[in-house]
Amino acid sequence: MADAGERRRRPDGGRRARGPDPDDPDAGVPERGPRFFLAVFQGGIREARVYRAYPDEKGVSFVYAGPAVQFLDLDIARRPSRGGWKEAAEAVKGGLISAACAAVGVAAIVIVIAGRLAIKDQTNVTDLIGMLLAFAAIIAIAAVVALAGGVRRITQRVAVLEAMSPEEIRKEAKSEKRSFRVTAGNVEDVRIDPHDEAGGGRSGSAARLSFRHDPTGKWKLSLLSRKDARAAARAFRHLLGEDGVEVNLSL
């Protein structure tokens, strides 16, 4: 057991270092470049997309970080890719499981319909089974292609953003057609509410960020984690003050 003299000689004063927070998605990841939080736009006719939102003293730069492919684990947009196949497989694995569950639900409905048709005309049973198998194969192939393509586009885009300085990030937010920048002078009606999947939010998100941006209109963005929600609240309160941001959930 270390005595008082040994504790004084230790750089940490004899205290054990705290381990990473298991609820922190960035736990244990070295800080690189400007800090950000993730926000996801689930478009109607527009492409669903994930943003890295970089707060600074004068605003928040919402910079396009890639497509928000359905069922894809968008945490890959948080950190630079190491380019390994295992990393890509982990990002796709959860999406494939979710896509498979959704496909099973759709297939069950189709089977019920096909079964009723088969009772009326048993000569078409073989054709119906073949149709179902072809349908399942098409869904599986489409899911793999979409998820793999999403991983590739996000990792490539994140590599570009990681190489940018804070000033370059601000310029990117103003010049990239899918990106935008909010400041105290062009944003209002800022709210952070509980996640609302029925309102078009990303499944599994922690909260919803909404605001009116004068140049681009109304926005509703899903905040993936509670850490993202806290960071968004801090960023907008810094711009607009405590009374300028309505927060309707415990952070």
pLDDT digits (tens, 9 = 90+) for 115-136: 665 556 555 666 666 676 676 6
**Res. 31 pLDDT band, cuts 50 70 90:** very low
Average pLDDT (44-67) is 93
Contact in structure between 34 and 147 (CB atoms under 8 Å): no
Q: Greater confidence, 4 or 203?
A: 203
Q: Greater confidence, 202 or 62?
A: 62
Is the predicted pLDDT of residue 79 greater than 90, yes or no?
Answer: no
Is the predicted pLDDT of residue 202 greater than 60, yes or no?
Answer: yes
Residue spans of alpha helices (H) in 163-214: 166-175
Contact in structure between 32 and 164 (CB atoms under 8 Å): no
Contact in structure between 239 and 57 (CB atoms under 8 Å): no
pLDDT on residue 245: 96
Contact in structure between 66 and 49 (CB atoms under 8 Å): yes
Please report, rounded to a whole number, the percentage of residues in the chain having pLDDT higher than 70.
Answer: 59
Is the predicted pLDDT of residue 20 greater than 70, yes or no?
Answer: no
pLDDT on residue 16: 40
pLDDT on residue 69: 83
Is the predicted pLDDT of residue 148 greater than 90, yes or no?
Answer: no
Please report, rounded to a whole number, the percentage of residues in the chain having pLDDT higher than 90.
Answer: 44
Tokens of 186: 């062009």
Is the predicted pLDDT of residue 163 greater than 70, yes or no?
Answer: yes
Most confident of 80-94, 157-171, 198-212: 157-171
Measure Cα distances from 4 to 10, 11, 167 in Å: 10, 13, 48
**Of how many residues is the chain composed?**
251
Mean pLDDT, the chain, rounded, equals 77
pLDDT on residue 203: 79
Average pLDDT (60-84) is 83
Torsion angle (degrees, nearest 10) of CA 69, 71, 77, 80: -110
pLDDT on residue 46: 77
Residue spans of alpha helices (H) in the chain: 4-9, 85-120, 125-162, 166-175, 226-240
DSSP helix, strand, coil percent of the chain (3-state; round to 5): 45, 20, 35
Is the predicted pLDDT of residue 200 greater than 90, yes or no?
Answer: no
**Res. 251 pLDDT band, cuts 50 70 90:** confident
